[in-house]
Amino acid sequence: MKELGRQRKNLKDDLRRLKYKRVSGSLPEGQGYADKRKNAAVSRYRNLRRKVSKSKQIDKTAQSGLGHNEVEKKEYSFGNNRVSIEQRQQVISEETDLHHGKKEVPKPSPAPEKKTTPAERRKEAHRYSNAQKLYQEKELKKHQKKMAMQEERESRERALGNYKKKKLERNKRFNQRTKRGQPIMKHQIDFLLEKIKAQGD
């Protein structure tokens, strides 16, 4: 009995392998789920096509009026939307009436024209002139700020140039030497006297 069971199991395995090998586009042995996924996708596509064709047939019967009593009882359903056939027929009849010109399409009422009084016009002009004035004031302030910054930069550069010039002259005097190579004390004493005077002031 056990041997018979084993034989049956082996036979089933062999059949399964052959089945997956027979299907076109299958991967190597042991990858049978690829075929299953492919077959599932194909079946879903076929079901979808069948539903679409069914819905088209229902529409045709509703428009032609054949089997009207039977069609009224059924509902047209596709996806998540459920619409009764009566509602669909009503919409279709309204569309045909509009197409043949039986019903007049309500035209949108024209927007009322704005009547501006002289006072309102003056107000608008005043608003515009105020905005222009504010803009001019902002531009003037910006220009003044720019000029002040430029003057400050120029004065800083001048002061720095004067300081460098003085420093260069002082270094020249301090670097002067006698014939024996000793520094001249006169220039250093003069510099110290100038410093004391500046502190006193």
pTM above 0.95, yes or no: no
User: Which domain covers residue 31, as residue numbers?
Assistant: 2-74
Q: Answer with the one of 43, 74, 105 that is the final residue of a domain.
A: 74
Q: Is residue 111 a part of any domain in this protein?
A: no
pLDDT of residue 191: 85
Question: What is the 3-class SS of the chain, one letter each residue?
Answer: CHHHHHHHHHHHHHHHHHHHHHCCCCCCCCCHHHHHHHHHHHHHHHHHHHHHHHHHHHHHHHHHCCCHHHHHHCEEEECCEEEEHHHHHHHHHHHHHHHHCCCCCCCCCCCCCCCCCHHHHHHHHHHHHHHHHHHHHHHHHHHHHHHHHHHHHHHHHHHHHHHHHHHHHHHHHHCCECCCCCECHHHHHHHHHHHHHHHHC
pLDDT of residue 158: 94
pLDDT of residue 75: 46
The list of the chain residues with pLDDT below 70 reads 1-12, 14-32, 65-89, 91-116
pLDDT of residue 128: 83
**Residues 65 and 7 occupy one common structural domain:** yes
Q: Is residue 112 a part of any domain in this protein?
A: no
Number of structural domains, the chain?
Answer: 2
